[in-house]
């Protein structure tokens, strides 16, 4: 498979993409399937979003790296496909990875996925680079990490998703692996990005790591070290994303975990990746309906998958908080009476200044369905979806005490930031008609509406 062939096919078929469920402010591929965000970075004046992409259809299949860039994290420009599975070591898929700038050159480290004729799967880590962010050269001596560099019990079929970073002048990468049938996060070290060695296992023996861990991330926030990971759970349990906070001892290369919590309490949030720019830790996840991953493909939409809105992750008084990293073009603030009904833009950020007290609620209505949010107890915000297609219910655990409630609404996605962003949940839904009405029941409150319709 080549970049040229994929570009040709996508361009010939982009006109077939249906607008019905397509988001306005959540990034989606111009055509075909999208999943994990890859290689998030600010480089040469742009935010770059590479992503797992099947340019030939709306189902998951042989992965390429798609590419978009933005000046403001709202308006995205689609760029040519960055990498295709065109080498022996990545012939079955250019899987997930990350980016780093070194000596003004953009390097990416990614997983090459190979399925042999007998079904045997092998995953390796590989390097490519670019001087313009668009055209990449794959390292002639790839792969740079393979089965020989796995610890004892490591499975070369489940060894993927490197996240590269620096510390004390050296390069490191956290990589997901299955070791003795269970997920672990491994640490690798390099002096030059081209020669790597196994250092240690940072996280293991946790049920939350699942039978296979995916898309690990490492960064420091609020004086603590953080490991973020997604997990494939056994027995069809929900695949959740966790953040472990603690301290990485760089002398012993061991991680002491102090706490573990969901990064997002929604079921439709997966594979987030973060990067830092101008002192902000920015996170972008993949959003998909966990129970109906192929709904859009099965209904001839010719696209599938969207990114979550970019979020800023902070630590406030020892508490993780997330807030949208984007703002709307139009801003309006209104006072809501104890009961209020008003029209809202299809793509908008809605902020209720005092949040919801116990017994208070917000309904987001479409002619074809409703998303209900109700504060049922001091520490539980209940989220419900009602439509002909499905009935879903999700309790969101919130800190006691009210704080602002922010809702990022789009054509087929809702992201909830409760208690000043201390509790977050993401939702994908498929209403044939867009949500356009807000109904509020509670005490007088102030609502700010940021519209992206302009």
Please identify every residue annotated as catalytic: 36
Query: Which H helix or E strand runs over 41?
Result: strand 32-43
Query: Which H helix or E strand runs over 4?
Result: helix 3-13
Query: Which H helix or E strand runs over 3?
Result: helix 3-13
d(CA 172, CA 43): 20
Place of tokens 């104890």: 338
d(CA 441, CA 267): 26
Question: CB of 163 within 8 A of CB of 273?
Answer: yes
Q: Where are the beta strands (DSSP E) in 87-181?
A: 94-102, 105-115, 121-130, 137-138, 154-167, 170-179
Q: Which residues pair with 395 in a beta bridge?
A: 382
d(CA 237, CA 352): 33
Backbone angles phi, psi at 162, to 5 degrees: -70, 135
d(CA 370, CA 100): 42
Give the chain's end-to-end CA distance (angstroms, integer). 40
d(CA 229, CA 270): 9
Measure the CA angle with vertex 311, ends 44 and 370; round to 5°. Answer: 135
C-alpha distance from residue 121 to each of 86, 111, 160, 175 (Å): 17, 12, 12, 17
Q: Is the dihedral of CA 330, 334, 339, 340 positive or negative?
A: negative
C-alpha distance from residue 3 to each of 13, 110, 115, 174 (Å): 16, 17, 20, 28
Q: Where are the beta strands (DSSP E) in 289-436?
A: 303-304, 306-307, 311-316, 319-324, 330-336, 339-343, 348-352, 361-366, 369-377, 380-387, 391-397, 405-409, 413-418, 423-428
d(CA 220, CA 336): 40
Helix (H), strand (E) counts: the chain: 2, 34
Query: In terms of Cα–Cα distance, which of 292, 403, 390 is closest to 351?
Result: 403
């Amino acid at each position: 498979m080549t970049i040229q062939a994929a570009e040709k096919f996508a361009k010939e078929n982009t006109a077939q993409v249906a607008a019905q469920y397509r988001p306005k402010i959540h990034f989606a591929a111009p055509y075909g399937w999208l999943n994990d965000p890859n290689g998030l970075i600010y480089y040469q004046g742009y935010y770059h979003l590479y992503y797992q992409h099947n340019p030939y259809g709306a189902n998951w299949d042989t992965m390429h790296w798609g590419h978009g860039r933005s000046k403001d994290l709202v308006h995205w420009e689609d760029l040519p496909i960055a990498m295709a599975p065109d080498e022996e070591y990545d012939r079955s898929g250019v899987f997930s990875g990350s980016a780093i700038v070194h000596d003004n050159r953009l390097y990416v480290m990614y997983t090459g996925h190979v399925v042999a004729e007998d079904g045997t799967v092998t995953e390796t880590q590989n390097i490519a680079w670019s001087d313009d962010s668009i055209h990449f050269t794959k390292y002639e001596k790839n792969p740079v990490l393979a089965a020989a560099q796995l610890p004892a019990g490591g499975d070369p079929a489940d060894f993927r998703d490197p996240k590269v970073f620096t510390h004390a002048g050296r390069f490191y990468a956290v990589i997901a692996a299955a070791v003795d049938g269970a997920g672990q996060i491994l640490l690798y070290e390099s002096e030059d990005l081209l020669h790597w060695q196994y250092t240690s296992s940072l996280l293991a023996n946790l049920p939350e790591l699942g039978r296979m861990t995916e898309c690990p991330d490492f960064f420091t926030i609020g004086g603590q070290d953080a490991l973020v990971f997604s997990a494939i759970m056994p027995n069809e349990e929900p695949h959740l994303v966790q953040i472990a906070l603690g301290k990485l001892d760089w002398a012993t290369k061991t991680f002491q975990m102090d706490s573990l919590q969901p990064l997002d309490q929604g079921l439709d949030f997966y594979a987030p990746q973060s990067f830092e720019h101008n002192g902000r830790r920015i996170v972008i996840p993949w959003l998909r309906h966990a129970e109906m991953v192929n709904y859009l493909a099965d209904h001839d939409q010719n696209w599938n998958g969207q990114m979550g809105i970019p979020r800023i992750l902070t630590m406030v008084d020892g508490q993780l908080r997330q807030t949208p990293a984007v703002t709307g073009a139009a801003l309006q603030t209104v006072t809501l009476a104890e009961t209020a009904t008003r029209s809202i833009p299809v793509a908008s950020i809605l902020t209720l200044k005092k949040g919801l007290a116990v017994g208070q609620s917000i309904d987001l209505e479409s002619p074809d369905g409703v998303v209900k949010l109700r504060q049922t107890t001091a520490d539980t915000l209940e989220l419900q979806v009602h439509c002909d297609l499905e009935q879903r219910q999700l309790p969101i655990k919130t800190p006691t005490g009210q704080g602002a409630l922010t809702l990022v609404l789009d054509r087929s996605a809702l992201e909830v930031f409760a208690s000043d962003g201390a509790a977050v949940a993401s939702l994908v839904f498929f209403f044939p008609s867009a949500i356009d009405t807000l109904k509020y029941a509670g005490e007088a409150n102030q609502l700010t509406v940021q519209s992206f319709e302009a």
